Amino acid sequence: MEIGIPKERRESEYRVGLTPIGVQLLTADGHICYVEHGAGLGAGFSDRDYEQAGARIVYQPQEAFGRADLVLKVARPTAEECEWLNDGQTLMGLLHLAAARQSRVEALLEKRVTAIGYEMIQLDDGSLPVLIPLSQAAGRMMVQVAASLLQNDKGGKGILLGGVPGVPPAEVVIIGAGTLGTYAARAFLGVGATVYVLDRDLRRLQDVDALLHGQAVTMVSHDFNVRKVAKFADVLIGAVLVPGQRAPIVVTREIIKTMKPRSLIIDMAIDQGGCVETSRPTTHASPAFIEENVLHCCVPNLPAVIARTSTHAFNNAAWPYVQAIARLGIEEALNSDPALARGVNTRAGAIVNPALLASEVQ
């Protein structure tokens, strides 16, 4: 099989679709890997690293896309990249198509692309094996992001997360007790913040309570509880995920109006449209804006700036699925692995993912 690894073109996206080790394993199996010049630099991989692994370096993005049966990306293709896709190709990446422009989905349908979203590959127990390590990384990043944005020079309240003797720590509210929310809670507790975790699933709250040895306050995320904690939160993190669907709005504008001035919201559901009514996508270069006198950080590709770590993390998890497609071909790979099949968004000119189909109808 011929496999293309293009350079990512979205702003502040430093990750790469496959590591040199992945290339080495594929070429050892007889596959051909085309790596675009400079594709791995953001993650610390040189062209020489890829050449030594057996890759062929190409100098035009059209080659990395056009020569491939399987294209391995990180972020959803841009409009220009969609033009470079060929009819009938397989595309793998963090696609988040439920929050994409209609034109992106139409381009994939027109070119009959089999589009597999890493974030939608789902095991029988409901877990998301490729998304989990990225959520773990993003959860741990929350402390450094919040600590920076709470500073006065960044527009924040001037609060130290852990406080000092005689001065109380920050009050951190996390809505969503999944992987990201749990790792964020543990990280904030580690620096001494007071942490509240809300979720609709009582079993998840019980798991968080056990994991964190009762150090975090857990609450069921009924609307009145969300309103209650928002009033005193210094930091509010939206960590809500419904696989394959747009995120539900759990924090409304009316709730935000009750928050303390210059408190901070970090909407980690922004990849899927956002779970905060006032959210809109921001960038690493300009990560925050003020709405209703509350600071909002809504960077879709937050782990992109820890590119070395996050590239290795999601490649480790995605590798079995990439290898299966390369060895078996897309048809047999999908038929033999229900988890991989659940990750398919579009195939043969049709929308396959029921959640994406529902959002298209709406």
Active-site residue list: 96, 271
Write down the number of H helices and E strands in the chain: 14, 15
Of 141, 149, 83, nearest to 113 by C-alpha is 83
Angle of helix 131-149 versus helix 307-328 axis, rounded to 10: 160
Task: Report the amino acid identity of residue 76.
Answer: R
**CA of residue 47 relative to chain centroid, distance:** 26
User: DSSP for 115-129?
Assistant: EEEGGG---TTS--T
Q: How many Å apart are CA 119 and CA 134, to the nearest integer?
A: 9
Helices (H), 191-336: 202-211, 223-230, 253-257, 307-328, 330-336
Reduced to 3 states (helix: H, G, I; strand: E, B; else coil), residue 36 is: strand
Q: Which residue(s) pair with 173 in the sheet?
A: 196, 236
Q: How many Å apart are CA 79 and CA 171, to the nearest integer?
A: 41
Which value, to the nearest 10 degrees, does the dihedral of the CA atoms of residues 12, 131, 178, 162 take? -40
Report the 10 Å Cβ neighbour count for 35: 29
Cβ(141)–Cβ(134) under 8 Å? no
How big is the chain by its Cα radius of gyration, in Å? 21
Which residues are CB-contacts of 246 (< 8 A; sequence separation ≥ 6)? 98, 99, 272, 273, 359
Q: Which residue(s) pair with 111 in the sheet?
A: none
> Which residue has tokens 């944005």?
149
Cβ(40)–Cβ(8) under 8 Å? no
